[in-house]
Amino acid sequence: MARLKIMFSHLSVVLMALAAAVGIVVLVSAPWWVWLLVPLGIGAQMLNEYNLHRYVFHLPPPKRQWVFDLLYQAHYGHHDFPTNHGLFFVPVWVALPVLAFNFGLVWGVAAIIGLPFAFEIAVAIVVVGEVLTFLGYEWFHMTSHLNIPKTRVERYVTTLHNQHHFRDFSKWFHVSPGGEVIDRAMGTAIDRDTLRSQQRIEFIRTLGLRPDDPRLVSARQRFAPKYGLTSAEVARAAAV
């Protein structure tokens, strides 16, 4: 219950859960074969998860403060304060546009090639398959950052995700169970032997930036009230 309370305190989780529920209702009246397309959304969301994390959330730090602030809320801040509950989740201004784009893309392609029930196909793949997988991602990601009893799968996810946060932020971009297949295929996995010999990256919690970088200092001060960061936490984060 405690984890559900944390999850559903975040607007994007609530809205995405509502979207999935509406999608399931829509599919009740769809042909049976449309339901068979739902698993396609699982694979698609795994790719979304990897690509957004690697190529968007880990963009080189922007020089313009307003762009930096966007990335700080989207992901940099989560690395800076990995146990802050407010920074666990994908912002609503990222989640909903991605959902809308993917839905429009699948619906458009299905309609263009003349598939029947193009709208329902998009609902099955995107609104049900992708969104439910996204919610699973949010669950496992949140759990990996909480100091609580965990299942075997949750412990496995936590072990791999901790490597990304505390050993090498250029590796292990997946979080959802099974997503490591993509990391291995893309060359961003890291094995135990390499971990033993690899030195910890300097300033790893700030993605290689000096903790007192003016952009980081400005972002922390700006968003401290929003995420409930104390002045002591902000000061500690800036210490070199």
Q: Note the pTM of the prediction, 2 decimals.
A: 0.93
Q: What whole-number distance in Å separates Cα of residue 130 and Cα of residue 102?
A: 9
Average of per-residue pLDDT across 155-164: 93
Sign of CA dihedral 103, 108, 113, 117: positive
**What is d(CA 118, CA 107) in angstroms, rounded to the nearest whole number?**
6
pLDDT surpassing 90 at residue 60: yes
Per-residue pLDDT, averaged over 137-155, amounts to: 95
Q: How far apart are CA 88 and CA 70, in angstroms?
A: 15
CA 48 – CA 35 distance, rounded (Å): 21
The backbone region for 187, taken as left when phi is positive above 0, alpha when psi lies in -120 to 50, beta otherwise, is left
What is the average per-residue pLDDT within 37-51? 96
Domain map (residue ranges) of the chain = 2-237
**Mean pLDDT, residues 69-93:** 96
Residue 203 has what pLDDT?
82
% of the chain beyond a pLDDT of 70: 97
How many C-alpha atoms does 235 have within 13 Å on its Cβ side? 3
Contact yes or no for 32/39 (Cβ under 8 A): no
Per-residue confidence (pLDDT) for residue 198, from 0 to 100: 67
Examine the pLDDT at 125 and tell me if it is beyond 70. yes
pLDDT bracket for residue 104 (50, 70, 90): very high
Residues in the chain: 240
What pLDDT is stored for residue 154 in this prediction? Answer: 95
Q: How many CA atoms lie within 13 A of 181 on its CB side?
A: 7
CB-based contacts of 109: which residues, under 8 Å, 6+ apart? none
Q: What is the pLDDT of residue 167?
A: 87
Range in 5-14, 44-53, 66-75, 185-194 the model is least confident about: 185-194
Q: Which residue has the higher pLDDT, 166 or 37?
A: 37
pLDDT at 240: 66
Residue 39 has pLDDT above 70, yes or no: yes
Calculate the average pLDDT of the chain.
Answer: 93
pLDDT in tens, 191-240: 777 776 666 677 888 998 999 999 999 999 999 999 999 999 999 988 86
Q: What confidence score (pLDDT) does residue 123 get? A: 98
Q: Can you give the pLDDT at residue 199?
A: 65
The confidence score (pLDDT) of residue 1 equals 82
What's residue 202's pLDDT? Answer: 76
pLDDT at residue 200 in the model: 67
